[in-house]
Amino acid sequence: MMRESLFHSHRKAIASAIYTNRLFHIFVGIITVSTFILIIGLLYTILGKGLPKLSLDFLFTLPNELEAGGGVGPFLFNSFYVLILSLILSLPIGIGAGIFLAEYAPNNRFTEFVRTSVESLASVPSIVFGLFGYVLFVEYVGIGLTIIGAAVTLALLNLPVLARVTEEAIQAVPQDIREASLALGATKSQTILKVVLPAALNGILTGISLVACRAFGESAIIILAGGTSTSGFMWDFNLLSQGGTLPVHLWYVQSEALVPDATEIAQKSAAILVLIVLIISFTVRFPLWIQALITKIKATPRKS
């Protein structure tokens, strides 16, 4: 009798666990589908209002302060210019710091303090970095609101995120892979460059995609360190020119502009901004998709 009672209670526990598991799957599925629908709805609303009105003239012509028909050429150019400069400055330092913390840094209190500081900086609002950039470049150095000031401040914003993401991606690589490489006679640096980094590439590229998209859409730092305007010329590579970008222009047009077609300019600027962020994310992830596809093809058994 006791065995039968234990058997029935065990079956009830299993049935309850299966029922709970199904409910959880349904709950997670509903949340996932709802989030997906919300994102698609937002993208459709933003792109649907702006993309049909876009033209090459709008992308490459100068803005107009009073008359309708102006473009966003200098602001769009500055967006890419500031983004590229910030990535050139932040990628080597951020990824290098992540490699050092994951592979070389000793496990002591100072290293834990550094990790805590990096995590704290990664969560600091961008407006704080913008104020720091304003104090450093406008007040202390005295060069004013410039492209180089915006780029360096954006690089400082990206550094802690890159360092933390790189460290976590490297730490996720199994230790057995390192030991196998070292057992074959490879040095530690060769193991990191040829074994660990390729294995962690997925996470590192995800971090690069996140910081690149965040930097391209940043506005608070640009307003405080780069300014709200441009030099007024297309393809201006002068680092000391004002560094107003597309997100800043979008804010300005929607809030303070006097042009009669301000709403249309804002809709088209928002569509360009979202589209370019999607393209950046896709471009960074595309090599991984190709690599995964090639690996899958090679792993598929061929029929003789």
What are 172-196's pLDDT values in tens digits?
988 888 888 888 888 888 899 888 9
| pLDDT score at 303 | 57
> In the predicted model, is pLDDT for residue 7 greater than 60?
no
pLDDT number for residue 14: 77
Q: Which residue has the tokens 């960074």?
A: 284
Q: What letter would DSSP give residue 235? A: T
Query: Is pLDDT at 65 greater than 80 in this prediction?
Result: no
What whole-number distance in Å separates Cα of residue 265 and Cα of residue 55?
A: 12
As a whole number, mean pLDDT of residues 91-100 equals 93
Instruction: Give CA–CA dist 95/92, Å, rounded.
Output: 6
Angle 126-127-132 (CA atoms, 0-180°, nearest 5)? Answer: 100
Q: Which of 174, 175, 137 is nearest to 153 (CA)?
A: 137
- What six digits make up the tokens of 56? 């090459």
302 confidence band (pLDDT: 50, 70, 90): low
Provide the percentage of residues in the chain whose pLDDT is more than 90. Answer: 37
pLDDT at 256: 76
Sign, CA dihedral 146-241-245-288, equals negative
pTM value? 0.86
- Distance separating the N- and C-terminal Cα atoms of the chain: 60
Helix spans in the chain (H): 2-50, 56-60, 73-99, 109-122, 126-133, 147-171, 175-183, 188-191, 197-199, 201-216, 220-221, 246-255, 262-299
Min mean pLDDT across 60-64, 94-98, 222-226, 276-280 is at 60-64
- Kindly tell me if the per-residue pLDDT of 66 is higher than 80: no
Cβ atoms < 10 Å from Cβ of 56: 8
- 294-300-301 Cα angle (round to 5): 140
The distance of Cα 271 from the centroid of its chain, to the nearest Å, equals 18
Nearest C-alpha neighbor of 129 from the set 163, 155, 148: 155
Distance CA 200, CA 170 (A): 5
* Cα–Cα distance for residue pair 154/119, rounded to 1 Å: 17
User: What confidence score (pLDDT) does residue 34 get?
Assistant: 93
**263 CB contacts (<8 Å, ≥6 apart)?**
254
